[in-house]
Amino acid sequence: MRLIERYLFRQLLAPTLLAAAALGAVGLLSQSLGQLDIIIEQRQTAWVFLKVIVLAMPQLLNLILPIAVFVAALVALNRLHAEHELVVCYAAGMSRWRVVSPGIRLAVMATLVGLVVNLWVQPASYRAMRDIFYAAKSDLAATLVREGEFTEPAPGLTVYGQTVESDGKITNLFIHHRAEKGGATTYTAREGRITYREGQPVLVMRNGSNQEFSRTGVLNYLTFDEYALDLSPFLRTRDGVTYEESDRYLHELLFPDMSGSYERKSRNKLLAEGHSRLSSPLYSITFMAMAFAAVLGSSFSRLGYGRRIAVTGALAVIVRIIGFSVQSACEDTPWLNVLQYLIPVTAAAWAFSQLFRDVERRSGWREWLPFVAGRARGVPA
């Protein structure tokens, strides 16, 4: 019997991995389209873009694992039914639980993987991704000039460049800087280029002029062949990184430091995210139980289980949508967090009740025993 259970486990494992890979590829495509602005607007490299996509995958994995388990279980069970292998299992004396147990073990493994990803992998990856976004937004050297547009990359700083060439050369450059204590300085140059000196960004301008209007009302004007404008003072005006709920570990979600303004403002949202991290992996077990209930939860059918599979699939979608809706509602009503656990547990209990109810009445596989015995003796059907 152990050999048959291992065989059933392998039949479920392979489609699960394939479904997870396929859904992951779709998710990767959607993530890549959503993050294109880091290259287009922030002018970052393709390597930075790739790192952002990879770091976004752990949260996506939490969403696709239950779906992959559900789809794979339906595909595998439908094939085992079509090839009469489930009939052989029952004919060999296996109980319904022995047939179901390989799938439950696989679902438990998926649940543990999802829990590890939610509690440790996702916060670490999202913190790294948040740091990348912060560095991209704070990279004034990369976002200083947008071709043909007036931009304000920092308070009091207005920049315009007619063209930005592929080698970084900026033509017909205009910069206007308003000082905090009054006065303003305007730079114009035929060309400029952003470089780094001692690790600090510097804008080197050539063939231009400098017009400085002081607080006393005096206008100073001079021309230059080359002038280096230090950009580091504008970089220091950036705010620090604020980790959102998706970037935090479980203890930071359930027991946040209330001394911070973000924590005080988002207390309920942090709490809802923490309970979601703990409850969402349970959907792997729920969906596996529902898949088994769709195929084994009613009388035997020679015509297949297409209708029951369609109905169960619709129920699984409804259950997951309700779960998302409850998580959103918990951000305003914290006591609803208990429903984040009750929904998958209740759906799983219903599926198991359908799977094991009135087993003897549903023993329609007995009518297939003569067929199986005849196939074993080589007698045509």
What DSSP character marks residue 229? E
Q: What is the pLDDT of residue 138?
A: 62
Round to whole Å and give the CA distance between 339 and 324.
11
Q: How many residues does the chain have?
A: 381
> 33-42, 58-67, 323-332, 349-358: lowest mean pLDDT where?
33-42
Check residue 84 and give left, alpha or beta (phi > 0: left; psi -120 to 50: alpha): left
Can you read off the two tokens belonging to residue 251? 């203890």
153-192 pLDDT, tens digit per residue, is 777 889 998 888 867 788 999 999 888 777 889 999 999 9
Can you read off the two tokens belonging to residue 284? 């792997």
Round to whole Å and give the CA distance between 23 and 62.
12
Q: Which helix (H) or strand (E) holds 160?
A: strand 157-164
What band does 350 get if pLDDT is binned at 50, 70 and 90? very high
Closest CA to 247 of 238, 239, 256: 256
Query: Cα–chain-centroid distance for residue 276?
Result: 14
The domain ranges of the chain are 2-137+243-376, 145-230
Round to whole Å and give the CA distance between 105 and 197.
59
65-115 pLDDT, tens digit per residue, is 999 999 999 999 888 877 888 878 888 888 888 899 999 999 999 999 999
- Residue written as token pair 């950009």: 231
Q: What is the pLDDT of residue 36?
A: 63
Round to whole Å and give the CA distance between 208 and 221.
11
What band does 17 get if pLDDT is binned at 50, 70 and 90? very high
Question: Is the CB of residue 141 less than 8 Å from the CB of residue 194?
Answer: yes
